[in-house]
Amino acid sequence: SNQQLNNTFKINMVNNVKFGESPQTLISSETAIADTGATDTFICPNTQNVTNVHNEPVTQILQMPNGEALTSNTKCDIKIPEQVPTTAAEATILPGLQQNLISIAKLCDNGLKAHFTANYVHILSKDNYIVWKGNCNQTSGLWTLSLEAKQCANTMITTKPIKDMIKFLYLALFS
């Protein structure tokens, strides 16, 4: 029966998983789906890389595509690269959520840009430097970002004399 399938696979449209796949095995709890439709960043209760967990006076109610309503008044900060504005790190811990969701709209509202390709998602600063990057999960077809706060170093500041630049490049490439 349809009810039995829903109970067995916990299919939920917000996680955009293919029919019959178990969402828990697709994406690690320390990554998040880069979600262009999420109104906020939502985190599963078992996620480790969070700080500043606190309760808010107002309970947030989220209507899921399957009709279920999830509620929470617990907020946190996710560990993200330090180049990302701290206001973009604020998230809601949502009991019942199966996958962490990073709101691309929230990142863009905080001055960042998102660029999706067939294999990668890049979060760019106002100056078009990559500050956070993720991959397209080949099993689910979803782009994911790590919540382990790895830094992206993709720029070199011009210095004089040129021997300093050569030394920097040598150390960056071969150490």
Output the pLDDT for position 28. 65
Express each pLDDT in 37-46 by its tens digit: 888 999 999 8
Q: How confident is the model at residue 36 (pLDDT cuts 50, 70, 90)?
A: very high
Q: SS in 3 state form for the chain?
A: CHHHHHHHHCCCHHHCCCCCCCHHHCCCCCEEEEECCCCCCEECCCCCCEEEEEEEEEEEEEECCCCCEEEEEEEEEECCCCCCCHHHHEEEECCCCCCEEEEHHHHHHCCCEEEECCCEEEEECCCCCEEEEEEECCCCCCEEEECCCCCCCCCCCCCCCHHHHHHHHHHHHHC
- Mean pLDDT calculated for residue range 61-66: 81
Does the pLDDT at position 96 exceed 90?
A: no
Express each pLDDT in 119-168 by its tens digit: 999 999 988 888 899 999 888 899 999 887 554 555 555 555 778 778 87
Using CA atoms, how far apart are residues 85 and 88, in angstroms rounded to an integer?
5
